[in-house]
């Protein structure tokens, strides 16, 4: 049997403690599958005295986690601290420069600095792995890099944020409004006390940009993910969608298209979408994640599982460690950084599709005429229009339109025509209908 | 760039031709991802003259496919001939003994000879890979061996045969009977002219035994898969299940339990099951496959996609080739053959669960009393009993019982008590209710 793979673990929150518990619980089978022992030798966290339910006395303790990068008795640094910059990034860079492999669950850091870290890892000849950064315990990065490796990926999309999916499926089940359900999610630990990253789609955008880079062999481009969260959704939207045969899910979607000069461009968007009942993503409830890849030979593949939580995330972290122990490393983004294409971001005006547009309006004569005239003038063809009869407390009514297939630019134009109209009591909400 | 990986391809049916088309279509990206070219150098099939829609003139031709094993210009033999024994097995053994890697989509050969082939591959120091043998294009072997590698797998189950799933979901949609739908499936190419392997569950059992070996680190044991197909199902069963909130799917399931002496045993069964609407497998329609793994840290992971077809199967074959090109090989069954445990087969009498039991009976007084008395005497607790009022042409009526949770042995005993009763016009049909 080979020498143990020696791990320094930075960050002892729920995931860090989960990694320790997992390595304890499954030690024997992991050693067998990895071909060698995976042994934590040092740990670091902010508070040494906190009870985490695991015995830390076996490990060396570092008060300054960045010091772990310089330890001579460590092969791999596992970074579970979080934050796109700051100590996590310092630790990551130092570890790689010191010739150590880096395993991380830090989606923000990879979304912002993944390319430069991968480049440094290539130079140092060490592994950089981040399966846990996307979709928790679901081995979707591995699925893309290896399982679907023979395919040109045509589209990748999915449910990438468990907090939003919990909120949306609970709104669906209970008919309650967004704010209510968010409060419950916070009490239950499904949402952070500051939920912005989750509910505004930023966390999903981090993950989507990582998946898109691997799927399309493109330089990671988080800055150009067009991102809308779920905070503008109302219970009435969910009910409306349901009456049309759809559920609402926050979908991250990436695909490539051809620009005017024939160049390949990258489209990346996180947005609440209407998902038809017949689609597998319509049945993904609670804090579950799911990713669909469409390859030119594989067809549609679906990967589904727990998107967060200590056990699933630890499972992904240790899967990366087993890969490293086996010597199965490969390029972080599937191909070497220099071979990744720099794709310009795709515009969206030409994108064809059907859309749900919801207006909150004052209940007075002429409002419907104003809206439908704008649609006509912009060339948006209306398939159905539903006005909810009941006023809200504020005297507003909701008007929902489902369009026929058409270009996105027409919808944008229609909304421009209505911009500033005193009839509207809130900005219109536009959602794509996800194709079957 | 490293030297090309040189392939000999045996078998030019739809999958073989698909592999050639895939390597042509995606050549550039595969070379980039694999780090070297993957180049077919020789091919073999029964008929050299048949038009397969691909240009074979580029490749050396071997009339005798087993001769490919001895070619000096080949690194990997891809076996797509099929059949558990015969030429496929001869080719596989010869190729491995000659120091070549073997990639195969042949589930029957792996189910019957996988262990001895893996042992020979270890001795020869070559790769043996068979992602395409299970669930077509879905990277489920990779998902188990690597993605879920950190987990003790508690249960693995899924829809492993696309033909059966097509038939069952079509019966569900149309209300038509088994024989009718099978005939259509044969005309549409979803079922073979001799459909026995598919509809009797043998193909699913092949795949289940391969998954179980990898999931549990156990010696492959196809002979002890308890296998029931779908040919006894009637339209009325599907309708009955639907009225109870279930769909019927052919489920392969494997898990371990503890025998009387505390030893670990392996339970493997392929059987039509009632799947509750809320379960992700209830929404798997048509010729799709799906596999669920339940790991002690990952929780439930679902892998879903096309279970057959030239494109998806070729995608899995070439994924294996890319792994080999990258040098990412590992043990065929996740751990070396000598470390696989020899688990004895689990008995099923103690297994707790709810069951659907359907009787076809003569419509005459006393039949229900006879059945319910047998249930009582065997200790089977009845949750609901439905008698279809309408007689079939043969004068029989169907009685469906759903039991409360209880041991399987009680149901077996009840059916023993009824065995030979002149009231029954066909053997009773028993299906498990899949837990949520």
**Whether residue A427 has pLDDT greater than 90:** yes
**Whether residue A390 has pLDDT greater than 70:** no
Among A298, A321, A328, most B C-beta atoms within 10 A, so best to mutate, is: A298
A26·B151 Cβ contact <8 A: yes
Asked if residues B406 and B376 have their Cβ atoms less than 8 Å apart, the reply is no
Catalogue the active-site residues of A: 207
Of the pLDDT bands very low, low, confident and very high (cuts 50, 70, 90), residue B208 is very high
CB < 8 Å to B317, chain A: 150
- Residues A103, A197: one domain? no
Catalytic residue among B100, B129, B142, B207: B207
Per-residue pLDDT of B402-414, as tens digits, reads 999 999 999 999 9
Q: Which residue among A143, A152, A302 places its CB closest to the CB of B29? A: A152
How far apart are the CA of A138 and the nearest CA of chain B, in angstroms? 7
Residue A332 annotated as lining a ligand binding site? no
- Residues A281, A154: one domain? yes
Flag whether A333 is in a domain: no
**Whether residue B191 has pLDDT greater than 90:** no
pLDDT at position A380: 97
**Whether residue B169 has pLDDT greater than 70:** yes
pLDDT at position A188: 87
Flag whether B327 is in a domain: no
- Residues B302, B356: one domain? no
pLDDT at position A388: 72
A304·B299 Cβ contact <8 A: no
pLDDT at position A2: 84
CA dihedral B34, B40, B46, B51 (to 10 degrees): 100
For the segment B296-303, the average pLDDT, to the nearest whole number, is: 97
**CATH for A196:** 3.30.360.10
A26·B152 Cβ contact <8 A: yes
Per-residue pLDDT of A357-369, as tens digits, reads 999 999 888 999 9
Kindly state the percentage of chain A with pLDDT values over 70. 98
B305·A306 Cβ contact <8 A: no
Residue A13 annotated as lining a ligand binding site? yes
CB < 8 Å to B159, chain A: none
**CATH for A105:** 3.40.50.720
Distance, in Å, from the CA atom of A317 to the CA atom of A182, rounded to the nearest integer, reads 29
- Residues B224, B298: one domain? yes
Flag whether A315 is in a domain: no
pLDDT at position B427: 94
Among A26, A27, A147, A311, most B C-beta atoms within 10 A, so best to mutate, is: A147
CB < 8 Å to A148, chain B: 139, 315, 319
A297·B22 Cβ contact <8 A: yes
For the segment B86-97, the average pLDDT, to the nearest whole number, is: 97
Per-residue pLDDT of B210-257, as tens digits, reads 999 999 999 999 999 999 999 999 999 999 999 999 999 999 999 999
Per-residue pLDDT of A145-197, as tens digits, reads 999 999 999 999 999 999 999 999 999 999 999 999 999 999 988 888 899 99
- Residues B171, B290: one domain? yes
Q: Which residue among B34, B297, B311 places its CB closest to the CB of A312? A: B297
pLDDT at position A125: 97
DSSP A16: H
**Whether residue A391 has pLDDT greater than 70:** no
Per-residue pLDDT of A185-224, as tens digits, reads 999 888 888 999 999 999 999 999 999 999 999 999 999 9
CB < 8 Å to B147, chain A: 131, 138-139, 142-143, 319
Flag whether B329 is in a domain: no
Beta bridge partners of A248: A274
Asked if residues B143 and B200 have their Cβ atoms less than 8 Å apart, the reply is no
| Cβ burial, residue B296 (10 Å; 0-12/13-18/19+) | middle
pLDDT at position A1: 64
- Residues B373, B417: one domain? yes
- Residues A65, A205: one domain? no
A311·B297 Cβ contact <8 A: yes
pLDDT at position B1: 64
- Residues B281, B192: one domain? yes
- Asked which of B78, B111, B133 is the last residue of a domain, the reply is B133
A149·B312 Cβ contact <8 A: no
**Whether residue B197 has pLDDT greater than 90:** yes
- Residues B250, B188: one domain? yes
CB atoms closer than 10 angstroms to residue B333: 26
pLDDT at position B230: 97
Distance, in Å, from the CA atom of B270 to the CA atom of B102, rounded to the nearest integer, reads 28
pLDDT at position B436: 58
- Mean pLDDT value across chain B: 95
pLDDT at position A260: 85
Kindly state the percentage of chain A with pLDDT values over 90. 91
Q: Which domain holds residue B277?
A: 140-306
**Short-list A30, A65, A287, A249, CA closest to A158:** A249
3-state helix/strand/coil string of chain B? CCCCEEEEEECCCHHHHHHHHHHHHCHHHHHHHHCCCEEEEEEECCCCCCCCCCCCCCCEECCCHHHHHHCCCCCEEEECCCCCCHHHHHHHHHHHHCCCEEEECCHHHHHHHHHHHHHHHHHHCCCEECHHHCCCCCCHHHHHHHHCCCCCEEEEEEECCHHHHHHHHHHHHHCCCHHHHHHHHHHHCCCCCCCHHHHCCHHHHHHHHHHHHHHHCECCCHHHCEECCCCCCCHHHHHHHHHCCEEEEEEEEEEEEECCCCCEEEEEEEEEEEEECCCHHHHCCCCEEEEEEEECCCEEEEEEEECCCHHHHHHHHHHHHHHHHHCCCCCCCCCCHHHCECCEECCCCCCEECEEEEEEEECCCCHHHHHHHHHHHHCCCEEEEEECCCCCCCCEEEEEEEECCEEHHHHHHHHHHHCCCCCECCCCEEEEECCC
CB < 8 Å to B31, chain A: none
- Residues A199, A126: one domain? no
Beta bridge partners of B103: B78, B129
Flag whether B319 is in a domain: no
Flag whether B344 is in a domain: no
Smallest CA–CA distance from B23 into chain A, residue: A150
pLDDT at position B390: 66
pLDDT at position B188: 87
For the segment B416-436, the average pLDDT, to the nearest whole number, is: 93
Asked if residues B113 and B83 have their Cβ atoms less than 8 Å apart, the reply is no
Of the pLDDT bands very low, low, confident and very high (cuts 50, 70, 90), residue A389 is low
For the segment A254-258, the average pLDDT, to the nearest whole number, is: 95
CB < 8 Å to B316, chain A: 298
Q: How many structural domains are present in chain A?
A: 3
CB < 8 Å to B300, chain A: 305-306
- Residues A83, A176: one domain? no
Measured in degrees and rounded to the nearest 5, phi and psi for residue A71 equal: -65, 135
- Asked which of A103, A133, A163 is the last residue of a domain, the reply is A133
| Cβ burial, residue B414 (10 Å; 0-12/13-18/19+) | buried
**CATH for A363:** 3.30.70.260
Flag whether B341 is in a domain: no
How far apart are the CA of B57 and the nearest CA of chain A, in angstroms? 23
For the segment A426-434, the average pLDDT, to the nearest whole number, is: 96
Smallest CA–CA distance from A330 into chain B, residue: B326
How far apart are the CA of B295 and the nearest CA of chain A, in angstroms? 9
For the segment A120-141, the average pLDDT, to the nearest whole number, is: 96
A29·B334 Cβ contact <8 A: no
Of the pLDDT bands very low, low, confident and very high (cuts 50, 70, 90), residue B281 is very high
How far apart are the CA of A202 and the nearest CA of chain B, in angstroms? 24
Among B149, B162, B302, B341, most A C-beta atoms within 10 A, so best to mutate, is: B149
**Whether residue A392 has pLDDT greater than 80:** no
- Asked which of B306, B335, B369 is the last residue of a domain, the reply is B306
More confident residue, B306 or A260: B306
Flag whether A262 is in a domain: yes
- Residues A22, A111: one domain? yes
| ipTM computed for the complex | 0.94
Q: Which residue among A139, A290, A295 places its CB closest to the CB of B148? A: A139
């Amino acid at each position: 049997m080979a020498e143990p793979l020696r791990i320094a673990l930075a960050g002892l929150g729920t995931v860090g403690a989960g990694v320790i518990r997992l390595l304890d619980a499954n030690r024997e089978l992991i050693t067998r599958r990895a071909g060698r022992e995976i042994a934590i030798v040092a740990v670091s966290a902010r508070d040494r005295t906190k009870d985490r339910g695991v015995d830390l006395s076996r490990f060396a303790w570092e008060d300054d986690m960045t010091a772990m990068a310089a330890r001579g008795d460590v092969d791999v640094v596992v970074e579970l601290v979080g934050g796109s910059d700051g100590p996590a990034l310092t630790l990551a860079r130092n570890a790689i420069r010191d010739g150590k492999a880096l395993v991380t669950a830090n989606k923000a850091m990879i979304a912002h600095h993944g390319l430069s870290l991968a480049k440094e890892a290539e130079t140092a000849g060490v592994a950089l792995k981040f399966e846990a950064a996307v979709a928790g315990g679901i081995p979707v990065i591995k699925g893309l890099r290896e399982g679907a490796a023979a395919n040109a990926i045509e589209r990748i999309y999915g449910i990438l944020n468990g907090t939003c999916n919990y909120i949306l499926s609970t709104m669906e089940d209970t008919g309650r409004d967004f704010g209510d359900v968010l409060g419950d999610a916070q009490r239950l630990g499904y949402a952070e006390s500051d939920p912005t990253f989750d509910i505004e789609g930023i966390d999903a955008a981090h993950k989507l940009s990582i998946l898109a880079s691997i799927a399309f062999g493109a330089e990671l481009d988080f800055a150009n993910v067009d991102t809308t969260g779920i905070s503008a959704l109302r219970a009435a939207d969910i009910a409306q969608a349901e009456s049309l045969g759809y559920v609402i899910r926050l979908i991250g979607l990436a695909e490539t298209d051809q620009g005017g000069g024939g160049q390949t461009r990258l489209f990346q968007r996180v947005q609440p979408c209407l998902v038809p009942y017949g689609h597998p993503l319509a049945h993904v409830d609670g804090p579950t994640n799911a990713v669909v890849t469409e390859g030119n030979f594989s067809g549609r593949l679906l990967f589904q599982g727990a998107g967060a939580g200590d056990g699933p995330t630890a499972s992904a972290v240790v899967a990366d460690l087993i890969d490293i122990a086996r010597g199965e490393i490969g390029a972080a983004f599937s191909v070497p950084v220099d071979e990744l294409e720099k794709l310009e971001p795709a515009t969206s005006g030409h994108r064809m599709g059907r859309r749900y547009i919801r207006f909150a309006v004052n209940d007075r004569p002429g409002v419907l005429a104003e809206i439908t005239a704008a649609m006509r003038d912009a060339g948006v063809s209306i398939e159905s229009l539903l006005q909810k009869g009941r006023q809200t407390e504020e005297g507003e009514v909701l008007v929902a339109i489902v369009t026929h297939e058409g270009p996105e630019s027409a919808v944008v134009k229609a909304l421009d025509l209505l911009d500033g109209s005193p009839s509207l009591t809130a900005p219109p909400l536009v959602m794509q209908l996800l194709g079957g």
